[in-house]
Structure 1
């Protein structure tokens, strides 16, 4: 199922597939109910899920009933629902079959230990990046991210590293869909400026996000290039801007990331 964009409902998605005899609306609705939950919304009522997805309350109740019987959701009071640990099995099947997610973990640990900073691998999923592997240090970052987290591709270092490798037509189509939000005073939120930045990233082979997503957060990423020349994924290191300069990222972190990306490219196919 495609990820819903801001302002889009499951009904909008169903309407886009109207007339397709192979489209299973009940399955799509069940997946939409699951995706309504998040780290910020761990407990949701039927009405709240209906509002978030656009699915009628009666259909949401049937989805929750089925998911509860299958062990994917639970409710202590019969009104508010939460995901159960069994939901992890859905993502585990993907992560377990993805070489970059499996083999990337020791590479990330090496990167993190080499530069003493947290590092990540993400793939491009629509106009978002999806984290598939993480290695942490003891440092505390203000952005709470883990495997399965999503962020807008246009304002993340890994997103821009991957977007810069897309053919021009695909890149343009993705930018047409993307919401350019001014997260901080440093965010590039104008289409022409963003296109110029992506061209610069393509030329230099790395992307730096300097407090564009959140004040105090700086990151650098390089693409993991598959045999066909596309970016299969990207790898990054995130740092606290007050502690690590852009120059330090280029001199100390970038060589380590490039070496790791070359190693991971062997798994990208």
Structure 2
């Protein structure tokens, strides 16, 4: 009996070995393995910080079981962390089972922003720019594979996600992230590229390491980064570096706007000099 082309294709496909399963994403708790045997490393404190960071805007309340799954910590370890945080007023559970962070947690971020020279100096500069230009501006630093907002002003909602001081976004597909990556020492950049997961957030997102390398070279050559709808459709942003006295780039300052309203040309011609002047002013506080 002869087989149709479709039947032949089906048989040949069935003979192929199954695709290997995707490697599971490492849990936050697994990041502590490298400190095993270090007598000065406080594992209990590290576990508590992992539990704190597990709470997000998408998951503001979680049970012990949910936190155990999300962090990779045992239920017993999560329970002890939550017990301590609750006793200190940083967490609590209204119904006795679903935990959430408490307002006292804000004292930790307040301590950082009031003691950090860069954050303290940046906020009034951004507020002055927003008042004059009626746009949203931010300052961020690099933390691992993400950027972290340390100062921000917002005159209108330009992103679907609600950004605030402490918000994190992926570095590779944001203008501020591109600036901070572009000025990393070569060894640090190579370490980042070797482990970074370049996920497509939109059809415009750069997901190739080589294309990202080219984009970063362009940032260094031009002295700024312009990212057009790579993180979110409709969002266009422009960022410049902020230098310390040593010449090292320690932060980045950006403008975010609605793509249909702000063209690439307008961003470059109207706002680039304002951003550079503000970045230079901010650099003075670091000298």
Q: TM-score range by the shorter chain?
A: over 0.9
> Would the aligned equivalents of 1:127 and 1:177 in 2 still touch at CA under 8 Å?
no
Partner of 1:252: 270
- Aligned residue in 1 for 2:121: 103
Is the partner of 1:228 in helix, strand or coil?
coil
Offset, 1:93: 1.6
Contact 2:241-2:251 at 8 Å conserved across structures: yes
The answer to whether the 8 Å contact 2:240/2:279 transfers is yes
**Aligned-pair RMSD on alpha carbons?**
1.3
TM-score of the two chains, using structure 2 as the length reference: 0.89
1:221 aligns with 2:233: no
Among 13, 17, 20, the residue aligned to 2:35: 17
Secondary structure of 1:244's counterpart equals coil
For 1:28-67, list aligned pairs within 5 A. 28-67=46-85
The number of residues matched between the two structures is 264
Structure 1 equivalent of residue 8 of structure 2: none
Check conservation: 1:201, 1:207, Cα contact below 8 A. Answer: yes
- Give secondary structure in 2 for the equivalent of 1:224: strand
RCO comparison, higher one (Cα < 8 Å, 6+) = 1
Q: Does 1:230 align with 2:224?
A: no
1:262 maps onto 2:280 in alignment:
yes
1:1-269 to 2 correspondence within 5 Å?
7-269=25-287
TM-score of the pair, normalised by structure 1: 0.95
3-state SS, counterpart of residue 277 of structure 2: helix
Bigger Rg, structure 1 or 2: 2
Paired residue for 1:3? none
Q: Deviations over 1:69-127 (max 9, x none)?
A: 10000111100011001011112222111111111111001222232111100011111
Instruction: Give 5+ residue unaligned stretches, structure 1.
Output: 1-5
